[in-house]
Structure 1
């Protein structure tokens, strides 16, 4: 009787561990993806900043290119950077809990 209860408890703990390991891997993958997004936004901003203020820049939208002022592209990249950092912080919090 005691052996059966121990076995059942062990199987429940094992199933829980497998589930948590899967969730952790998923969060780690999401963090890696967001870190890549953050890095791209940062590097793009670093390339845009030295340009004169009224420079027109090209924005890639799938297979098309759109000509926009530098300020619009900078704003979008800054927002992507902030969003990525917030998401990474949220995922780190989620991974710790």
Structure 2
């Protein structure tokens, strides 16, 4: 009876680990994307700064380029930069939370395997 309970506990822990790992990878990908957006906004700002205010600047909308004042483009890029930084801060918090969850799940798994070494042998025989 205890063997069956340990087996079901292992299956639950394994499911939580898979779910947490998936969420963690998703958050890491989102962070990578936001870093790219932030870098593009920063580089665009750096390219716009030395231009004079009367320079013709164009904004890409799909396949079309629309004439926009430099100040409008600067404001848009600054806003993208701020939004990316805020999103990165939020994603970092989520990542830290998920890493703590992952550590907790790993601890639970270790405790279960130490409590019942027989289940560890069963797992090893199944994976081969």
| Mapping 1:3-82, distance limit 5 Å | 3-82=3-82
Normalising by structure 1, report the TM-score.
0.97
Q: Flag as ranges the 4+ runs of structure 1 deviating above 4 A.
A: none
The number of aligned residues is 97
Q: CA deviation at 1:73?
A: 0.1
Residues of 1 paired with 2:33 and 2:74: CA distance? 21
Deviation at 1:55, TM superposition (A): 2.3
Task: Decide which structure has the larger Cα Rg and report it.
Answer: 2
Measured on the aligned residues, the alpha-carbon RMSD in Å equals 0.7
More helix by share: 2
Measure the CA separation in 2 of the matches of 1:87 and 1:55: 32
